[in-house]
Amino acid sequence: MSHKPIRKAIFPVAGLGTRFLPATKAVPKELLPVVDRPLIQYAVDEAREAGIEQMIFVTGRGKGAIEDYFDIAFETEITQRERGKDLGALEGTRLMPGNAVFIRQQEPLGLGHAIWVAREIVGDEPFAILLPDEFMKGAKGNGCLKQMVDAYDKVGGNLVCALEIPMDETPSYGVIDPGARDGVLTEVKGLVEKPKLGTAPSNLIVPGRYILQPEVMKILETQEKGAGGEIQLTDAMAAMIGTQAFHGVTFEGRRFDCGSKAGYIEANLALSLERDDLKDHIRAFAQEELAR
């Protein structure tokens, strides 16, 4: 059976990023760099690699720099060209004209609300969601969303990325109540947002990658506030279980929670140790530092 292709992706970037204050007072969290590329760039590259054509950014006040980031940096380009400098570093920062949509969530009422804001742009199509502060590092050409789209092509319906974490960390995440497992696919029997310690149905969490059917927008329209007083995407997804296929996909790769300081620093370290221009220096420095 063929399933409707996934052509659109939503990047919710309207959150306040309070865990990174004061850095995020004037700079969007999504533009914080891992080595020399902003978090949002990695997420957009991952979406592109998965065949996404239209990138929908749900922004808010103070997030205008994200829109500029994906535009042509006219002055920089002219100046660099005049100086005979290579512009390769800017590759991938421009989106195809008409393929980027920016829409505002006026109030940060929660992730579920941010997704619902994009309902008219998504229309009657299944779509992907990528939370850019979750940095999912797959093999080249086979990122997290690509792996999920491959799974979607087989089973259709709704899919979330599924990741095992230590049980005591589950209160910070959306957690899966898992059913039968078949290869990378796990049936999702239930979902709970930020369960109290000791009450999570498993240690399988949803780290910010989703493929959802458009019906979720109807549910979000009347979704009550949930955990943390926010309109939760998890609660709307939970309401779809039983009416449509719902699976978790085990991701082959590494995940860095760049919404947290520790995860962000780990990502910078891990990526710099992979870069030919940095790895020797950083390795030597880290060894010296650890020996102090």
Residues of this chain that interact with ligand UTP (CB under 6 A) are 12-19, 29, 58, 105, 108-111, 113-114, 131-133, 259
Of residues 60 and 156, the one with the C-beta less far from ligand UTP: 60
Of residues 80 and 102, the one with the C-beta less far from ligand UTP: 102
**Shortest approach of ligand UTP to residue 232 CB, angstroms?**
10
**DSSP for residue 106:** S
Of residues 14 and 240, the one with the C-beta less far from ligand UTP: 14
**How crowded is residue 141: how many other Cβ atoms within 10 Å of its Cβ?**
7
**Shortest approach of ligand UTP to residue 108 CB, angstroms?**
3
**Shortest approach of ligand UTP to residue 18 CB, angstroms?**
3
Of residues 131 and 240, the one with the C-beta less far from ligand UTP: 131
Sign of CA dihedral 177, 251, 230, 263: positive
* Chain position whose Cβ is nearest to ligand UTP: 15
Of residues 131 and 236, the one with the C-beta less far from ligand UTP: 131
Check: CB of residue 188 under 8 Å from CB of residue 179.
yes
**Shortest approach of ligand UTP to residue 30 CB, angstroms?**
7
**Shortest approach of ligand UTP to residue 159 CB, angstroms?**
18
Please give the helix or strand (H or E) that residue 3 lies within, else none.
none
Of residues 43 and 149, the one with the C-beta less far from ligand UTP: 43
CA distance 98 to 54: 8
**Shortest approach of ligand UTP to residue 193 CB, angstroms?**
11
**Shortest approach of ligand UTP to residue 160 CB, angstroms?**
14
Of residues 210 and 272, the one with the C-beta less far from ligand UTP: 210
Of residues 29 and 48, the one with the C-beta less far from ligand UTP: 29
**Shortest approach of ligand UTP to residue 204 CB, angstroms?**
19
